[in-house]
Structures are given as structure tokens and as C-alpha cells.
């Protein structure tokens, strides 16, 4: 989703801005732009914008020889107005004020009317342009960029991260955040802003995480931060863990491939320090975790997208292993309906980015509803979700750049299994059983590695999908959400329409779609539902459907019209994690064969910071 980078320095900041934008490319965008101010007193604000990739912007910058010591840059993911150069940021008012914005200004129509009455002309369809004009309008009275920005912000409703510069104050950059993430980078005699610390990794690791409602007034050698009430505040400078090479794809063709193959390490890292001798170390969840888990009587999981699928697996685990009632719901649905709050419910949010607007809003909603405690399973330590939750278990997957979530998902599942064990301990899980589970977790990275060895077989198979338009994914029980995730991966990166069904539902509708053109992919572990699933597969065969069945040795799923992909050994509880991997590989190789943009699929964003 939209990205922001900004800098105020003595050197030419254009290369820093462009490099920052490239590091944000993974978030998904459709156009890019930057605005810079020249050195001391130069009365020029130069703006360059381009539809498409940052590379297109870079080409224009090179042609125009754009340079400047203060600047702001942006990648836009269209919400208000089509992707076009006119709608790309920065937005400018009277050649004086330039603004970049992430989020949505909800009262933009009202403000637009007011500004039009004041004589301002609009050149875009965006909600952002009102901010540029509004700051310009207030500057006439305030005569100071920061004061004008604060006055303008006072009129905004909605969510924003903003970067603002003025032609008339060439060594100053104003930043503001409410509802969208923004960090300030503190360099030596230079200051930066970024919507993600990764964007700043090449220039500084010293960062300030702005809090809700903060406005930052940045100059090369100093910064002043005001809180939501306008009071001057000190915010700590932290050392970010993001390193400059964190977003290097190494020997791989793209980040998605890298991230799929990194999964053994990502899972091993997630488990590190969290397993003792035959037991899990629940202190990893936070010092108060033990007491909170003692009092937990039910679990409410909230997430979006792939993270929702992880939560859907956890529901099976928590109910069957811990015997606690567990609900799982999509955050955008959760936040807008009435709830029956069970006392002692632990709210668990799951998010790779920790910045998903719906998940954050749903968490806030649970507080209003009077839920007790909250736990975030999240991949980004400094994220809003982590900061707003009482307990956290970090999935140490490392930066995930591919828009389609892969390693974040398997590490979320790993973390959720740890949570399940922690809760189950209090509800009859014996030490012996816990030891078995811990052994299974210890074997997980090695087993994922073995599944990755299927890659060549799956790549060869993927060619059969290239000219298909639809696919059906089937699973049962705890593997049903894995079928959901498999279908999501295929549609996200290969653009093949894919649906998932609990296999028992086949006869209630989807069977009507089955013919020789509809590949049916089944997740068929050797569990208590295998025989039931095999009957469902017969229903497909009888209609001439072409089956691809992922299953272990000796399950007897081989038959006519069936391609069996033999899985290596899987553990009883970690089985859903292992069956995820071949489905990721399938989607990946189909996308590769189709030549789609695997890392940045069309229309999608990595981190969805708007509702
Ligand atoms: C976007 C991403 C998905 C992700 C979802 C939830 O749609 O493209 O990959 O699953 O957001 O994101 P989160 O960061 O909260 O896990």
C-alpha cells in the first residue's frame, strides 16, 4: 500500500528518496512521485511523477536532472481516483506546498467545497490534494509551516501519515501521523521520514516511532515533536533491527521464491528460545502471560487475509487440544457487528505487518466491548499492533517482501501452536503429551526442508495449470483452512480463479462445476477424516474431474484421473504447516510459468493500512 519517504539534509536527497521508494515497492502501488527543494533560498519546488514502477520515475528524474536537499516521495495505491499522473503524490498547492499522504481523509469532500469557495483549484481526484491547499491556506495567516500544518491537521478527519514541505522554508520537513504508521530517522545532521523503517535502513538505524496524533518538525540538525494536544514531547530514539540488506533477494528469482525457501529457518528462528527440555517456555509471551492464560476461558481470534487462515487453523487446535471455545473472525467483519462477550476471553490478533487498519480497529473495538486481555501474533516488533497489545509473540520470519504471504503464515502457525500448548497445559495436557508436541515442533524445520525438495516435481506439474481458468481446493478438518490458503495463493499470484471448499460440502454445490477443465487439488493427510475425504474425491472422479492429491505414503489415494504428490513424513499436529508448503510451491510455479509479477501482483498491497 502507499509508501512515504522524506529527507532534509545537506546532500542531494533524490537518490535516498528513490532508494527508499524501491524498498517500499513490495507494499504494492500503482504510481510514484517526489518533490524536492533546492539549496538555500532557491525559489523552486520541483515535482516529478510517473504512473507504474519506481523505475519509470527514476528515468524521468535522470532526464530532468532533479536534485534537492529537502524532499518527499511517495508510492501510491489508488483509493480516491484512478492510477494516473495527476492523482500521483506529491500534491502541490500554488507551487509552494507539497504533500505526500498515506491513509484516507474522510471529510475531504466537505474540505474540497470549502477550499473551492476560497478560490483553490483542484487538479486531481484525490482526497490528499485538500491537505496541500489547506496547509497553504493556513500559511497565509500563520506564517510558519509547522503551525500551518497543525492548523490544517486540526481540520482533518480520518487516517493519515503526512510529509509536508514548503518552497519558502527549504530546510524544513513536517511529518504527522494518525492511524497510519510513520517513523522519523535521525541521522548525523540529517533527518528522514518513512512509512516503514525498511525505507530508511540504508541511511540510518536510529528511529523515532511517532505516536498517534504526533506532529514532527524536522530540520537537518534538530527535531521537535508535538503530541496530539500540541504539547512538545520527547520520544525515544530507538535502534531499528532492519538492516540495509534485509531486502536483498540473493540468489533467488524473486522475493516470493526466497521467502518460500527460507521457511525452515524462519520457523527455527520463531522457535528459538521458546522451547525448553520437553516443554514450551511460556514466558516468551510476556511476564504477565502465565496469569492471563490461567484466567482464559475462551479465545477470540481476529485477522485478515492469510493471517485469518492461520487463525482458522488455530481454532481447531485450541478447541481440540486445549478444549477452550475459540472464535475466529475476519477483522473487517468483526468491527461492524454486535457481539456477545464471554467473560475471560483472550483476544488474539494475527498480523504479519501489525499495521492492517481493520485488525487494529477491531482490536480497539474489543476494548470498547470490555474484553479482557489481548495478545498479538505479529512479525514486526515496532508495529502499532504490538504496541497496542498487552502480550506479544513475535513471529521471527524477517521482512516479508512478496505481497503474497508465505513465511509469515507458517511462522504464525508455529506461534499459534505454542499458544495452544500454553493454554492446553491448564486444561489437561499432560507433561508427556507436551513433550511429544515439543519434539514435533523441533522436527518441523527439517520436515519443511524435506517438503521443499518436492519443488522440481511441483514445478513440472504446474505447467498443466497454465491455461486453466479455475481451480478447486479441497480439505477437511484442520486442513480445510490450508485448502483456503492454497486457493488464495493461487489466485493472488497466478490470477487463476481458485476456490476452496470443505470437501464434505462438494455435493452441496461446487460439484456442478467439476469437469475435465477444472483441476481439483486435495489436501489428504492420513488422519481420521481420510476415508471421508476419499469418498469426496470419488465424487470428483465420477464427474471426470482431474485430481491432484497431496498425501503421504500408503493412503491409497492413487486412482484414475489422479496425480498424487507424495508428501514426506508429517507430524500429527504440525501437519497443516507442512501441507501449506507444496500449495505455495504450486501457486508460485504456476505464476512463474504464466509470467505474472509474482512479488507484486496487480491490484494488491502488502500492508493494507486503509479500511
Ligand atoms: C494484505 C496482504 C496479505 C495479508 C493481509 C493481512 O492483503 O496482501 O498477504 O495476509 O493483507 O495482512 P497482515 O499484515 O495483517 O497479516
Q: Whose CA is nearest to atom 8 of ligand 1?
A: 606
* Residue 539 CA, ligand 1 centroid: distance in Å: 34
* Residue 308 CA, ligand 1 centroid: distance in Å: 9
Task: Give alpha helix (H) positions in 389-430.
Answer: 407-424
Do 510 and 474 contact (CB within 8 A), yes or no? no
The predicted model gives 483-499 an average pLDDT of: 97
- Whether the CB of 306 sits within 6 Å of ligand 1: yes
Q: For 386-398, how does the pLDDT look when each residue is reduced to its tens digit (9 = 90+)? A: 989 999 999 989 8
Least confident of 86-100, 154-168, 438-452, 504-518: 504-518
Q: Is the pLDDT of residue 40 over 60?
A: no
Q: Whose CA is nearest to atom 7 of ligand 1?
A: 305
The predicted model gives 94-120 an average pLDDT of: 94
134's enclosing H/E stretch is: helix 129-142
Q: How far apart are CA 29 and CA 16, in angstroms?
A: 19
Confidence of residue 415 (pLDDT cuts 50, 70, 90): very high
- Whether the CB of 405 sits within 6 Å of ligand 1: yes
- Whether the CB of 386 sits within 6 Å of ligand 1: no
Catalytic residues: 2, 606
Q: For 525-543, how does the pLDDT look when each residue is reduced to its tens digit (9 = 90+)? A: 999 899 998 888 888 888 8
- Whether the CB of 332 sits within 6 Å of ligand 1: no
Q: Is the pLDDT of residue 305 over 80?
A: yes
pLDDT at 112: 97
Q: How far apart are CA 288 and CA 276, in angstroms?
A: 19
SS3 at position 33:
strand
Ligand 1 probe mutation, 305, 314, 358, 491, most atoms within 8 A of CB: 305
609, three cell numbers: 493500512
pLDDT at 544: 85
Percent of the chain with pLDDT over 70: 98
Ligand 1 probe mutation, 488, 607, 609, most atoms within 8 A of CB: 607
pLDDT at 244: 62
Q: Is the pLDDT of residue 454 over 60?
A: yes
DSSP string of 320-347, one letter each residue: III---EEEEEHHHHTTS---PPTTEEE
Q: Whose CA is nearest to atom 3 of ligand 1?
A: 305
Do 593 and 466 contact (CB within 8 A), yes or no? yes
250-429 architecture in CATH? 3-Layer(aba) Sandwich (3.40)
Around 136, how many Cα atoms within 13 Å sit in the side-chain half-sphere?
20
Q: How far apart are CA 201 and CA 246, in angstroms?
A: 9
Least confident of 17-26, 163-172, 350-359: 17-26
The predicted model gives 178-203 an average pLDDT of: 93
Q: Whose CA is nearest to atom 5 of ligand 1?
A: 305
- Whether the CB of 383 sits within 6 Å of ligand 1: no
* Residue 255 CA, ligand 1 centroid: distance in Å: 16
pLDDT at 32: 96
CA-based nearest residue to 33, from 54, 2, 59, 63: 54
Q: Whose CA is nearest to atom 1 of ligand 1?
A: 606
Question: Which atom of ligand 1 is nearest the CA belonging to 604?
Answer: 8
Confidence of residue 246 (pLDDT cuts 50, 70, 90): low
Alpha-carbon torsion (386, 603, 591, 477), positive or negative: positive
Confidence of residue 39 (pLDDT cuts 50, 70, 90): low
- Whether the CB of 352 sits within 6 Å of ligand 1: yes
Question: Which atom of ligand 1 is nearest the CA belonging to 403?
Answer: 8
Confidence of residue 187 (pLDDT cuts 50, 70, 90): very high
Preceding amide of 90 cis, omega within 30: yes
CATH superfamily membership of 453-599:
Glucose-6-phosphate isomerase like protein; domain 1 (3.40.50.10490)
- Whether the CB of 359 sits within 6 Å of ligand 1: yes
Q: Whose CA is nearest to atom 2 of ligand 1?
A: 606
Give the fold, CATH level 3, of 3-239.
3.60.20
Terminal-to-terminal C-alpha distance of the chain? 12
* Residue 299 CA, ligand 1 centroid: distance in Å: 21
Instruction: Report in angstroms the alpha-carbon separations of 282 from 9, 188, 253, 355.
Output: 46, 41, 38, 25
The predicted model gives 480-485 an average pLDDT of: 98
Ligand 1 probe mutation, 1, 180, 303, 304, most atoms within 8 A of CB: 304
* Residue 380 CA, ligand 1 centroid: distance in Å: 13
Q: For 324-342, how does the pLDDT look when each residue is reduced to its tens digit (9 = 90+)? A: 999 999 999 998 898 888 8
Q: Is the pLDDT of residue 372 over 90?
A: no
Q: How far apart are CA 400 and CA 584, in angstroms?
A: 15
Question: Which atom of ligand 1 is nearest the CA belonging to 492?
Answer: 8
Q: Is the pLDDT of residue 41 over 60?
A: no
- Whether the CB of 304 sits within 6 Å of ligand 1: yes
pLDDT at 95: 94
- Whether the CB of 305 sits within 6 Å of ligand 1: yes
* Residue 95 CA, ligand 1 centroid: distance in Å: 37
Q: How far apart are CA 308 and CA 167, in angstroms?
A: 46
Q: 0.85 cut: is pTM over it?
A: no
* Residue 558 CA, ligand 1 centroid: distance in Å: 36
pLDDT at 538: 87
Q: Is the pLDDT of residue 21 over 70?
A: yes
Topology alike, domains 3-239 and 250-429: no
Residue that the C-alpha cell 501437519 belongs to: 575
- In degrees and rounded to multiples of 5, residue 468 shows phi and psi of -85, 150
- Whether the CB of 66 sits within 6 Å of ligand 1: no
Q: Is the pLDDT of residue 245 over 80?
A: no
Rg (CA), the chain: 26
Q: For 574-592, how does the pLDDT look when each residue is reduced to its tens digit (9 = 90+)? A: 999 999 999 999 999 999 9
Ligand 1 probe mutation, 195, 309, 353, 489, most atoms within 8 A of CB: 353
Domain ranges of the chain: 3-239, 250-429, 453-599
* Residue 275 CA, ligand 1 centroid: distance in Å: 28
Q: Is the pLDDT of residue 611 over 80?
A: no
Question: Cα 242 vs. chain centroid, distance in angstroms?
Answer: 16
Cβ contacts of 189 within 8 Å, gap of 6 or more? 9, 10, 220, 221
* Residue 392 CA, ligand 1 centroid: distance in Å: 18
Q: For 109-152, how does the pLDDT look when each residue is reduced to its tens digit (9 = 90+)? A: 999 999 999 999 999 999 999 999 999 999 999 989 999 999 99
Q: How far apart are CA 27 and CA 353, in angstroms?
A: 10
Question: Which atom of ligand 1 is nearest the CA belonging to 405?
Answer: 9
- Whether the CB of 607 sits within 6 Å of ligand 1: yes
* Residue 577 CA, ligand 1 centroid: distance in Å: 18
User: Where is pLDDT greater, at 243 or 47?
Assistant: 47
User: Where is pLDDT greater, at 382 or 225?
Assistant: 225
258, three cell numbers: 526466497
Q: Whose CA is nearest to atom 4 of ligand 1?
A: 305
Percent of the chain with pLDDT over 90: 75
Quote the strand ranges of 191-344, DSSP E: 191-194, 206-209, 215-219, 222-226, 232-233, 238-239, 298-303, 326-330
* Residue 404 CA, ligand 1 centroid: distance in Å: 8
pLDDT at 243: 67
Amino acid at each position: 500500500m502507499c509508501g512515504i519517504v522524506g529527507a532534509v539534509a545537506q546532500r542531494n536527497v533524490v537518490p535516498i528518496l528513490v532508494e527508499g521508494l524501491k524498498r517500499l515497492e513490495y507494499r504494492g502501488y500503482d504510481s510514484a512521485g517526489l518533490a524536492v527543494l533546492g539549496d538555500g533560498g532557491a525559489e523552486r519546488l520541483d515535482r516529478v511523477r510517473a504512473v507504474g514502477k519506481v523505475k519509470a520515475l527514476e528515468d524521468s528524474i535522470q532526464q530532468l536532472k532533479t536534485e534537492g536537499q529537502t524532499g518527499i516521495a511517495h508510492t501510491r495505491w489508488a483509493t480516491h481516483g484512478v492510477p494516473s499522473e495527476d492523482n500521483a503524490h506529491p500534491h502541490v498547492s500554488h507551487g509552494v506546498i507539497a504533500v505526500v499522504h498515506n491513509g484516507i481523509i474522510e471529510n475531504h469532500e466537505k474540505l474540497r467545497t470549502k477550499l473551492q469557495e476560497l478560490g483553490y483549484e483542484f487538479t486531481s481526484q484525490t482526497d490528499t490534494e485538500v491537505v496541500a491547499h489547506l496547509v497553504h491556506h493556513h500559511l497565509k495567516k500563520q506564517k510558519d509551516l509547522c503551525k500551518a500544518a497543525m492548523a490544517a491537521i486540526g481540520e482533518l478527519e480520518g487516517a493519515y501519515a503526512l510529509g509536508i514541505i514548503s518552497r519558502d522554508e527549504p530546510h524544513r520537513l513536517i511529518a504527522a501521523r494518525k492511524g497510519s504508521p510513520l517513523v522519523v530517522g535521525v541521522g548525523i545532521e540529517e533527518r528522514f521520514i518513512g512509512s516503514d523503517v525498511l525505507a530508511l535502513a540504508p541511511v540510518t538505524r536510529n528511529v523515532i516511532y511517532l505516536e498517534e496524533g504526533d506532529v514532527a518538525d524536522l530540520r537537518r540538525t534538530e527535531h521537535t515533536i508535538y503530541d496530539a494536544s500540541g504539547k512538545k514531547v520527547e520520544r525515544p530514539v530507538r535502534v531499528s533491527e532492519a538492516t540495509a540488506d534485509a531486502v536483498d533477494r540473493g540468489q533467488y528469482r524473486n522475493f516470493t521464491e526466497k521467502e518460500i525457501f527460507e521457511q525452515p529457518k524462519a520457523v527455527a528462528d520463531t522457535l528459538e528460545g521458546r522451547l525448553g527440555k520437553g516443554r514450551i517456555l511460556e514466558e516468551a509471551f510476556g511476564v504477565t502471560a502465565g496469569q492471563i492464560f490461567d484466567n482464559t476461558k475462551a479465545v477470540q481470534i481476529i485477522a485478515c487475509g492469510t493471517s485469518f487462515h492461520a487463525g482458522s487453523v488455530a481454532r481447531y487446535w485450541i478447541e481440540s487440544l486445549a478444549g477452550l471455545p475459540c472464535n475466529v473472525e475476519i477483522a473487517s467483519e468483526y468491527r461492524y457487528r454486535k457481539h456477545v462477550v464471554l467473560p475471560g476471553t483472550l483476544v488474539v490478533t494475527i498480523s504479519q505487518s501489525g499495521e492492517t487498519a481493520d485488525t487494529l480497529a477491531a482490536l480497539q473495538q474489543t476494548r470498547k466491548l470490555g474484553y479482557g486481555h489481548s495478545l498479538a501474533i505479529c512479525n514486526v516488533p515496532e508495529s502499532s499492533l504490538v504496541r497496542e497489545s498487552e502480550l506479544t509473540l513475535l513471529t521471527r520470519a524477517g521482512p516479508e517482501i512478496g505481497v503474497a504471504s508465505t513465511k509469515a503464515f507458517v511462522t504464525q502457525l508455529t506461534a499459534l501452536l505454542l499458544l495452544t500448548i500454553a493454554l492446553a497445559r491448564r486444561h489437561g495436557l499432560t507433561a508427556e503429551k507436551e513433550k511429544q508436541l515439543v519434539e514435533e515442533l523441533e522436527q518441523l524445520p527439517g520436515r519443511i526442508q524435506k517438503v521443499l525438495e518436492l519443488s522440481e516435481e511441483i514445478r513440472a506439474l504446474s505447467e498443466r495449470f497454465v491455461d486453466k481458468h479455475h481451480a478447486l481446493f479441497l480439505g477437511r478438518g484442520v486442513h480445510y483452512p490450508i485448502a483456503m490458503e492454497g486457493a488464495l495463493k493461487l489466485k493472488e499470484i497466478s490470477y487463476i480463479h481458485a476456490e476452496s471448499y470443505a470437501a464434505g460440502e462438494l455435493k452441496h454445490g461446487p460439484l456442478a462445476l467439476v469437469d475435465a477443465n477444472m483441476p481439483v487439488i486435495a489436501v489428504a493427510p492420513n488422519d481420521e477424516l481420510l476415508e471421508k475425504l476419499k469418498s469426496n474425491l470419488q465424487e470428483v472422479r465420477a464427474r471426470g474431474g482431474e485430481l491432484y492429491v497431496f498425501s503421504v505414503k500408503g493412503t491409497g489415494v492413487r486412482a484414475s484421473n489422479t496425480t498424487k504428490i507424495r508428501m514426506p513424513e508429517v507430524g500429527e499436529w504440525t501437519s497443516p504447516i507442512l501441507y501449506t508448503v507444496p500449495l505455495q510451491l504450486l501457486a508460485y510455479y504456476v505464476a512463474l510459468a504464466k509470467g505474472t509479477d509474482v512479488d507484486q501482483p496487480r491490484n494488491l498491497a502488502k500492508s493494507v493500512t486503509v479500511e
